[in-house]
Amino acid sequence: MSIQERHVIACPACQAELEGQLVDSLNARRHPHLREALLARRLHVFDCTVCGHALEVDKPLLYVDFDRFQFLGCVPGTERRHGRHHAEALVGAFDRAVRSGPAELAAQADRFLVRITFGYEELREKVAIDAAGLYDLAVEALKARLVAAEPWFQREEVVTLSFDGLEDDGRLRFYPTWLLARRASVGHTVWAQRRLYDDVFAEHETLLDQLPGLASGPHVSLLRLAFDTTAPSPQERPAS
């Protein structure tokens, strides 16, 4: 099931109080419209009925799709420095729900994509990469090469790219992401020829030797190289 609750949300622009439904757990098989909302960058986005401001509520959620074998955790981007903690919590949740779940499901456990993500853009990206039949580790390695090869990215302080989708001719479409932006900057489109991806994918078994920080357990992201993700979560810190 998708667990939905009604929440009162204050508009940051005009302070009006809005009521909206927020999900803690999103089951894409039961609620395909929520998957569509995520892909359209509209999940937990509400248009203020008073001033029209589009506000996004950034809250943790678990995204599960049993048809596509996806088990994806999402926590706000501000939690990135506690990445290791969230990665371990997600693996624990997966083990309880799937590996130790009903026998029929447990038998399929190794088919699942299990990933921790930080913010809905990253969650959206994992779903979009899988839908395009691409391997996320190869996409992250491709981003590293694209960013390193183009001085414009460094000049503009672009930290990574966000995969948006495939063009009809097979090119990969990305949007640049700035460090402080919560969303990829839709509009500044970057394309990569499919053969560049295929070249990276051909090396998929050695990508982690080349860029060891690119993945750890369920956390696969070029941004891992930009952040220390090992800070203990507040709950883990000893009381002082």
Q: Which is nearer to Zn ion, 10 or 107 (CB)?
A: 10
Asked if residue 40 binds Zn ion (CB under 5 A), the reply is: no
| Site track 177-216 with Zn ion (rule: CB under 5 A), x = hit | ----------------------------------------
Give the span between the Cα atoms of 77 and 162, in whole angstroms: 14
Q: Which is nearer to Zn ion, 11 or 116 (CB)?
A: 11
| Site track 9-28 with Zn ion (rule: CB under 5 A), x = hit | --x-xx-x------------
Residue 168 CA to its chain's centroid (Å): 24
Q: Which is nearer to Zn ion, 42 or 68 (CB)?
A: 42
Instruction: Show contacts with Zn ion in window 43-72 (CB under 5 A).
Output: 48, 50-51, 53
Give the span between the Cα atoms of 30 and 157, in whole angstroms: 40
- Between helix 136-149 and helix 120-131 the angle, nearest 10°, is 110
Collapse the DSSP code of 91 into the 3-class scheme (helix H, G, I; strand E, B; otherwise coil) and give the result: helix
Q: Which stretch binds Zn ion (CB under 5 A): 3-11, 29-37, 69-77, 119-127?
A: 3-11
Q: What is the largest CA-CA distance in the chain?
A: 58
- Between helix 136-149 and helix 194-202 the angle, nearest 10°, is 120
Residue ranges that bind Zn ion, judged by CB under 5 A: 11, 13-14, 16, 48, 50-51, 53
